Chain A
Amino acid sequence: MAADTDTDTEHDAEHGHGNHPSPGQYVEIGVILAVVTAVEVALFFADIPRQVTVPSLLALTAVKFVLVALWFMHLRFDAKLLRRLFYGGLALAAVIYSVVLAITLL
């Protein structure tokens, strides 16, 4: 029985559909996302210097981005190859942005 369980676990890990979060964990992530969004909007309306709000907003956006990608899109649990495809696309997008920005500033 134990051997069967191990085999199933290995199969799931290999094929990328095992160990997904439970509905309760999904709801917890959803609540965190809602709270972070509320904090973002509060930051926008708060009378705080731009030097503080902009980095804070970027950090909170990164938190939401990572939570959705790792938990809702299962990148935390799926095969590494899928992570590389996604991170590769993000890295190329960052390169394009940098190149366009550099051309614009020159």
Chain B
Amino acid sequence: MAADTTDAVTDDPAHPPTSFGVSNEKMGMWAFIGSECLFFGTLIATYLIYLGRTGDGPTPGEIFDIPFTSVSTFILLMSSLGMVLALSAIQDGDMRRFRTWTLATALMGAVFLSGQIYEFTVFVAEGMTLQASPFSSAFFVLTGFHGVHVFVGVLMLGATWAASFGGRLTPRHSAAVENVGLYWHFVDIVWIVLFTAIYLIPAE
């Protein structure tokens, strides 16, 4: 099994030698992730600056449901575990285990998204709309963009899962799965920061 995996990697036609010693796809994904750090860094800075400007709208302490968001956070965190187990499975050549973990990861992402949509609906019903205050605008833009990233990740996972059935994704293409995983873990890592910055550190 181990020999098969090694062969799959070294003989992969999609993984030619490069001057940097890293595949172009992986290099591109990390460059993208580096740029995304800037993107979310800017949004987080904006949110923290507007944190105290709630105007007549609800304050963070009044509106956030920490137990609910904690469960969502736990689910997203565990989806990252599912992703690495899916990668490990395809690197071992076990496509059945790969499909199971990929589907589980996508489903956990979808559950997180559903929770975010529910949370947004409750907030709007309680008067915290996009235009209610600078704080609410910054909150919805920041968490909304993160949600869009999760949605794109779920689509990528779904496409990866579907491709594994038609023979278009085999253990020889585990590098492609690793790149999808890098994106997914980045989305998770951003939420780790957002959960603390937005929900757990309360405004005085």
A2 at the binding interface (Cβ < 8 Å):
no
Partner of B30, one of A8, A65, A72, A86: A86
User: A37 to chain B: which residues have CB within 8 Å?
Assistant: 70, 73-74, 77
- A15-B15, A93-B37, A100-B49 are known contacts. Are A72 and B27 too (CB-CB below 8 A)? no
User: A73 to chain B: which residues have CB within 8 Å?
Assistant: 181-182, 185-186, 189
- Are B45 and A68 in contact, CB atoms less than 8 angstroms apart? no
Q: For chain A residues 76-90, which have a beta carbon within 8 Å of chain B?
A: 78-79, 81-82, 85-86, 88-90
Closest chain-B Cβ to A104's Cβ sits at a distance in Å of: 5
- Are A85 and B31 in contact, CB atoms less than 8 angstroms apart? yes
B200 at the binding interface (Cβ < 8 Å):
yes
Partner of A68, one of B46, B87, B185, B200: B185
- Are B200 and A33 in contact, CB atoms less than 8 angstroms apart? no
Partner of A65, one of B46, B78, B91, B193: B193
- Are B88 and A94 in contact, CB atoms less than 8 angstroms apart? no
- Are B33 and A50 in contact, CB atoms less than 8 angstroms apart? no
Partner of B200, one of A57, A65, A72: A57
Interface size on A, residues (CB 8 A): 54
Closest chain-A Cβ to B204's Cβ sits at a distance in Å of: 7
- Are B26 and A82 in contact, CB atoms less than 8 angstroms apart? yes
Q: For chain B residues 113-162, which have a beta carbon within 8 Å of chain A?
A: none
- Are A11 and B78 in contact, CB atoms less than 8 angstroms apart? no
User: B83 to chain A: which residues have CB within 8 Å?
Assistant: 72
User: B35 to chain A: which residues have CB within 8 Å?
Assistant: 89
- Are A15 and B78 in contact, CB atoms less than 8 angstroms apart? no
- A93-B40, A96-B38 are known contacts. Are A44 and B66 too (CB-CB below 8 A)? yes
Once the chains are docked, how many angstroms separate the CA of A27 from the CA of B74? Answer: 14
- Are B30 and A40 in contact, CB atoms less than 8 angstroms apart? no
- Are A96 and B185 in contact, CB atoms less than 8 angstroms apart? no
- Are A57 and B45 in contact, CB atoms less than 8 angstroms apart? no
Once the chains are docked, how many angstroms separate the CA of A85 from the CA of B48? Answer: 25
Q: Which of A44, A58, A93, A94 has the most CB of B within 10 A?
A: A93
- A58-B196, A104-B49 are known contacts. Are A85 and B88 too (CB-CB below 8 A)? no
- Are A68 and B188 in contact, CB atoms less than 8 angstroms apart? yes
Partner of B37, one of A20, A50, A92: A92
Provide the A18-56 mask, 1 if CB < 8 A to any CB of B, else 0.
001111001101100110010011011100001001100
Once the chains are docked, how many angstroms separate the CA of A6 from the CA of B145? Answer: 45
- Are B30 and A85 in contact, CB atoms less than 8 angstroms apart? yes
B55 at the binding interface (Cβ < 8 Å):
no
9 additional A-B residue pairs with CB within 8 Å, beyond A33-B81, A79-B22, A89-B36: A14-B21, A15-B21, A16-B26, A26-B84, A26-B85, A44-B202, A82-B22, A86-B37, A100-B42
Q: List 11 A-B contacts (CB under 8 A).
A: A15-B9, A20-B88, A23-B88, A37-B74, A40-B196, A44-B200, A81-B27, A82-B30, A88-B34, A100-B49, A101-B49
